Amino acid sequence: MVFIVYEDVFDFMLMFYIKCGIKTVSLSDKNFEIDEVLQHIETLKNGADILKKVKELKSKNKRLLQTCVHGDLSLNNILIDKNKTIWIIDWGESDEEYLAKDFKNDNFDTSLLYNTIVNQLSLDKNELYSLEDQIFIQDYTEMLRLIYNQIIEKQKDVHFTSKLNAIINRMSITNK
């Protein structure tokens, strides 16, 4: 039953992404990398390793998938009614973003959805970052935004440290 739910969710999300229009973008298209933010990253646990990996990824000059994403696609946001109709709720974090934002999910393997998108759109995998690299880049971008907002924009977030540690932990897992 659970696998069928994932297939139905993936089918719905595939239709949603295609309707919104999936494009490929360069890693340099979004840039929050300013000196003060990068200096902060260097002080973090594994910060030097993260920056080294980003530099390596940039040198590959590949592309990322981008479209409107749910932003918080997880088991918490999937409901099934008594008729076994699936409802995806809580679209509050949806935005135009790297598709990897929806792919970074511990609850289920999103590689099937990623491969379906690549195949359906006839994309050349050699021109794209791997799914794991795209997830890493999404986490890196999220970390840049978080630090930028905290340090540069002075938008104090009481959960800043825990959010930052969660991102770094995900990146460490992806980096293995």
Q: Does residue 85 carry a pLDDT above 90?
A: no
134 pLDDT band, cuts 50/70/90, is very high
CB 114 within 8 A of CB 131: yes
Share of the chain above pLDDT 70, in %: 92
- How far apart, in whole angstroms, are the C-alpha atoms of residue 48 and residue 106? 25
> What is the 8-class DSSP label of residue 93?
T
Domain CATH for 120: 3.90.1200
Q: Does residue 56 carry a pLDDT above 50?
A: yes
- Structural domain count, the chain: 1
**Residue-level pLDDT at 39:** 93
The answer to which of 17-26, 53-62, 81-90 has the lowest mean pLDDT is 81-90
90-121: b (≥16 Cβ within 10 Å) or e: eeeebeebbbbbbbbeeebebeebbeebbeee
Q: Which has the closest alpha carbon to 136: 165, 164, 106, 173?
A: 173
For the stretch 93-133, pLDDT in tens is: 899 999 999 988 766 788 989 999 999 999 999 999 999 99
Q: Does residue 30 carry a pLDDT above 80?
A: no
**Residue-level pLDDT at 120:** 93
**Residue-level pLDDT at 84:** 81
Could you list the residue range(s) of the whole structural domain that residue 135 is in? Answer: 2-175
For the stretch 147-166, pLDDT in tens is: 999 988 899 889 999 999 99
175 pLDDT band, cuts 50/70/90, is very low
For Cα atoms 112, 110, 136, give the angle at the middle one, nearest 5 degrees.
Answer: 125
